[in-house]
Amino acid sequence: MSHLRAHAGPGPATTPPRRGLGATLILATGTFAVGTDAFVVAGLLPDLAVELRVSTAAAGQSVTVFAIAYAILAPVLSTVTARLPRRTLLVAALLVLAAGNLLSAVADTLPVLVAGRIVAAAGAAAYTPNAGAVAASLVPPTLRGRALAVVIGGLTVATALGVPLGGLTARWLGWRAALVAVALLASAVAVAVRLAMPALPGGPAVPLRARSAALRQPAVLTVLPLTVIGMAASYTVYAFAAPTLGALGVDAYQVNLMLLLYGLGAVAGNVTSGYATDRWGAVPVLVVGYATMAVALGGLGAFSVTGSAPMPLVGLLVAGWGAASWCQTPAQQHRLISAAPQQAPLVVSLNSSAIYLGIGLGTTAGGAALASGVPAMYALGVAGALVALLVLRLGRRLAPQTPTP
C-alpha cells in the first residue's frame, strides 16, 4: 500500500500550500477509487458468477486478470508515458479506469468482464504511481512525506471502507451498480483534477532495461519473491471472501462486516509495521506477520470444517489476518531500499508489481482449490504463509550482504 514513495515528483513545488493540500486530497480520492476497484470484486464473486452463469472459481479470473495486468502494465506504462504532462496523464488514467468499470458493469459474458477488468487495470496502473509523484511536487519539501501519506491513505481507506461499501451497494442494487459507482467516482475525480490541478510537465523515462537490471541484484532478487508469496497466501482466501467466510456461518451482510474488519486490520498493520520496522527491523516484523497470518488462517480453516464459529472470534481472526497481510508492505520496502538505496524508486515500484502478481497468483490458486472445499483453501493459505517464513530464512542466507536489519 505504501509503494507510492517510489516515484519522484516531476518538478519543483510552486503551488501554494493550501492549494497543494486540496489537490492532494483530490488525488487521494482517486487512489480511493483505484483501491476500491481493485479489491471490491472479491466480495461480488457469488452474485457475479450466478448472473454470468459461470462457477465462482471461473468468476475469480476477473480478479486474477486485473492483478496480473496491473503488475505487467505498471512498469510498461511508467516508461511509455513518462514524458506526458502529468495532469493530462492523470485525467486520462481516471477516464480509462471509469471506462473499464463501465464495460465490466454491462458485461453479459465472462470474456467481456475480463476485458473490462484489463482496461480498468491499465487505468489504475497509470494513475496510482503518478498520483504520488504529483502530490510530492505540489507541496514544499517539508510537507512531501505527509502529502505522500495522504495519497497512500486513499488506498488504505479503500481497503477498510470502499470494499464493504461496495459490497453493501451490491446487496441493495446489484453488483453492476457497485462497478458503476466506482466509474462515477473516477470520472468525478478526473473532472476535479482537470479543474484544480496545475499543469505539470512529464519527467525523464526510466528504460525497461534499467528495471530488469535491478532484478539481477541478489539482494533484490531474494526479497521480491517473498512479496509475491505473502500476498498469494492471503489472496488464496480473500479473493473468495464470500464462500470462505460463508463456510463459517457468516451470512451475506456479515461478510461485509468481516471485510470491514479485514480492512481496519490492514490499516493498523500497515501503520504499525512502519514504526515497528524502524524500531526492531524488517525481518522480525515479517516473521511476526507471516506467523500471525498462518495462525489466523489456520483458526478460520478449523472453524470452516465445523461449519460454525463464534462471530466475535471470527472477527478477531479476520482483523488479525488483514493486519498480517498488509504489514509486510512497509517492511519489504525497507528491505529493498536498504539493499539498493541508489535504485530506491525502481525497486519499490517493482515491489508494487510483485504485490499485484501475488494477488493474481493467489486468486488462481484459490480458484483451483475451491473445488476441493473451503478448508482446502484455508490450508493452502496457511501453507503459503509458512513457505513465506521459509523463503525469508533462506533469502537471508543466500544474500547475507543485504544490509537489512
Within this chain, do residues 172 and 221 fall inside the same structural domain, yes or no? no
* Rounded Cα–Cα distance for residues 47 and 250 (Å): 16
Within this chain, do residues 383 and 235 fall inside the same structural domain, yes or no? yes
Return all residues near 242 (Cβ < 8 A) that are at least 6 apart.
42, 43, 45, 46, 56, 252, 255
Structure confidence at residue 59 (pLDDT):
87
Interval 144-182: pLDDT, tens: 666 766 777 788 788 888 878 887 887 788 899 999 999
Structure confidence at residue 391 (pLDDT):
93
Within this chain, do residues 292 and 171 fall inside the same structural domain, yes or no? no
* Rounded Cα–Cα distance for residues 94 and 205 (Å): 21
Within this chain, do residues 246 and 379 fall inside the same structural domain, yes or no? yes
Within this chain, do residues 58 and 171 fall inside the same structural domain, yes or no? yes
Domain range enclosing 405: 207-405
Within this chain, do residues 235 and 220 fall inside the same structural domain, yes or no? yes
Question: How many CA atoms within 13 Å lie on the side-chain side of 256?
Answer: 15
Within this chain, do residues 225 and 185 fall inside the same structural domain, yes or no? no
Domain final residue, candidates 173, 205, 237: 205
Structure confidence at residue 190 (pLDDT):
97
* Rounded Cα–Cα distance for residues 24 and 314 (Å): 37
Within this chain, do residues 19 and 149 fall inside the same structural domain, yes or no? yes
Which cell numbers in the block locate residue 228?
509475491
Per-10-residue mean pLDDT of the chain, 405 residues long, equals 42 51 87 89 84 88 90 84 86 97 95 96 89 76 68 80 80 90 96 87 67 74 91 93 89 85 90 84 93 97 90 95 90 82 71 88 91 94 97 76 43
Within this chain, do residues 155 and 24 fall inside the same structural domain, yes or no? yes
Interval 94-125: pLDDT, tens: 999 999 999 999 999 999 999 999 999 999 99
Within this chain, do residues 190 and 295 fall inside the same structural domain, yes or no? no
Within this chain, do residues 351 and 378 fall inside the same structural domain, yes or no? yes
Which cell numbers in the block locate residue 118?
484489463
Give the CATH number for residue 82.
Answer: 1.20.1250.20
Domain final residue, candidates 179, 205, 231: 205
Within this chain, do residues 245 and 140 fall inside the same structural domain, yes or no? no
Structure confidence at residue 142 (pLDDT):
66
Domain final residue, candidates 205, 236, 258: 205
Number of structural domains (the chain) is 2
Which cell numbers in the block locate residue 65?
486478470
